[in-house]
Chains A and B, each alone.
Chain A
Amino acid sequence: MTAGVGTPVPRRPRTSRRSLTVILPIAFGIAFIGLWYLTSTLLLSPSRRFILPMPHEVLVEAFLTPKNLLALLGPLGTSSVIAMLGLAIATVIGIVTAVLMSQAKWVEITLFPYAVALQSIPILAIVPLIAFAIGYGFESRILVVVLISLFPIITNTLFGLQSTSPQMRELFTLKHANRWTVLTKLQFPAALPALFTGLRISAGMAVVGSIVADFFFRKGESGIGLVIDTYRNQLNGEMLYGAIILASLLGLVAFWVFGLLGRLFVGSWYRPDAR
C-alpha cells in the first residue's frame, strides 16, 4: 500500500496580510494622536486645556518623571493582582459550572437563567449589597471582578463542551466509554479553543471590574481606579491621562496574553476557518 494519495495541505502565504495587520493599526494610532493634538490646541482654550493635555505633556509628566511613574505603577500592580485573582476564581467556577451544565441538561436549564442574570444586572447596582455583606476591603474588589468576568467563561466553555459532533461521541460509545472518559478525552479538548476565547473576553472584563471596584471599595492598597478618581478630583490632567493610559494598557495586555496562551495551547491543531 502506498502513501501516495494526497500530500500535506500547503500553507498559504501570509506575509502581505501580516504586514498589513501591523501597518494599519499603527497608521490609525498616528492619526488618533494627531487628532488629539488638534483637539487640545485648536478646540480648547488654554484655561480649559487641563481637560485634554497634549500627548507629550502626558508623556513627560506621567511616564518620564520617575516619582510620578512609580505613583502610577504601584496601584497598577495592585489592580493587576486583583484582576488576576478574580479571573482565576472566575475561571475555576466558570469551568466547573459549564462542565456540570454539559453533564446534565437539568443543571443547564436550572442555572443558565442565573448566568444570564449575572451578565445583565448592572454591577453598580449590587455594589452597596457587596459592601453591606463583606465590607470595603480587598475581598469585595475581587468579588466584583469574579461577578463581571464569570459569564463569558461559562457560556464559551459550555458552547465548546457541546461542540463535539454526534459521530465523534459515537467513537466513544462504541467502546462503552464512561462520562469521565468522554469529558476528558473528547469534550474538554474540543472546548479549549472556545474556553480561551472566553478567557480573553473575561480578562478584559476583569481589568474593568478591578478598576470599577476601586471607586467603591477604598480600603487596603489603592488600585489604579482609585488613582484615576484622585487625579480627577485634583484636576491633574497629565496624571489622569497617564493613569487612564496605563489602565487601558493593562486591559490590552490581559487580552493579548490570553490570545497568546490560546495559541500556545490549541494553535497546533485549531483552525477556525476549517470545516
Chain B
Amino acid sequence: MNTVPQSVADLAADNRRLAWQLALGALLMVGFGYLLVPIYRVFCEYTGFNGTTARIDLGRAATQGIDRSRWVTVEFAANTSADLPWDFRPEVASLRVHPGEMVVAQYEARNRSRREIIGQAVPSVTPGQAAAHFRKIECFCFSRQPLAPGQTLKLPVQFQVDTGLPPGIATLTLSYTFFELPGGRITAAGIRHEVPS
C-alpha cells in the first residue's frame, strides 16, 4: 500500500517497473494465443473432438478381436474444394462392417484440368463421438497426391472401427475433402510438417 510517503523519483520508478511487468504479461498472452493452435490440435487428436480421426499401425489393429454380433454402416463421402478441378468419389456409397474388422474402401480421383495438381485430402468422421473409434491403418490422406492432367487414380483407405464404439452408434460417415496444395505450402505452414492423419 501507498501509505508510506515516497519520493517522486521512487514513485516514477515503481510505476515504470509495474508497467513493464504488465506489458510482459500482454506479450506472453500473444504467445499464448499462438500456443492455443498446437494445444487445440493435440486436444482434438487425443479426444477425437472435431471429427479428428485416430491412426494406428497394422500390428496393433490386428490384435483386436472382431465383434461379429454387431453391424455398423460406414458411409463414404467425397468433396473437393471449390477451386479444385478434380472429380472425386467413393467406389461404393457405404459398407456394412463388424467392429474390429479390417476393411479396405476405394475412392477414385480424376484430374479434369490441363495441369499437374497436387492434392491433399482432409478426413473427418461424424458423429463426433465416433471419431475416436475410427482407426485408419493406411490412407491416401497420409500423403499428398499428385495427379497429371487427365490422370485417374485409385485411392484406397484401410480402416477399422474400434470394438469400443459406443453402443448407440450404428452409422458413421467418413468424409474426405480434397484441397489443392500449392507447391511447398505445407512445409511453410508453421503448424505441422507432416500431413494430417
Q: Do A and B come from one complex?
A: no
List the interface of chain A (C-beta within 8 A of B).
Answer: none
